[in-house]
Structure 1
Amino acid sequence: MKEVILKWYPVILAFICLLYSVGLGIMGRTDEAQYSAHWPGTILLFAIAIRQRRK
């Protein structure tokens, strides 16, 4: 289980951020939702960059 979490934590974190952004949009806070909508992509891009630098 620990290995799975260590491998997939960026995806899990990005999914949580996506749900947060959708929740803000549903509550009518569209400005905050648009701001936080960029977080998942940024998290995934940084994870890719960090993993490429490790190899």
Structure 2
Amino acid sequence: MKNFLIQFISEWYAVLLAFFCLLYSVTLGLLGYNDEALYTAHWAGTILLFSIAIRQRRTTR
């Protein structure tokens, strides 16, 4: 079970992190911090794009 959890996190860390950033952005928006919510809304896409680039670099070596 422990190996499964470690493998799951190592494969899906970027998606999990992006999801939590999205939740953070939505929470800020619901609390009325609209400017901050718009700023943090871009984090999820940036994290996913960087993770794709890093993963491609790993497989090309």
Report the TM range for the smaller structure's normalisation.
Answer: over 0.9
Greater length-normalized contact order (CA 8 Å, ≥ 6 residues apart): 1
Q: CA deviation at 1:16?
A: 0.3
Match of 2:32 in 1: 28
Count of aligned pairs between the two proteins: 55
Length-normalised TM-score, structure 2: 0.89
Unmatched segments (≥5 aa) in structure 2: none
After the TM superposition, which segments of 4 or more aligned residues of structure 1 sit over 6 Å from their partners? none
Of structures 1 and 2, the larger Rg is shown by 2
Length-normalised TM-score, structure 1: 0.98
Unmatched segments (≥5 aa) in structure 1: none
Instruction: Judging by fraction of residues, say which structure has more helix.
Output: 2
CA RMSD of aligned residues (A): 0.3
Q: Percent identity?
A: 65
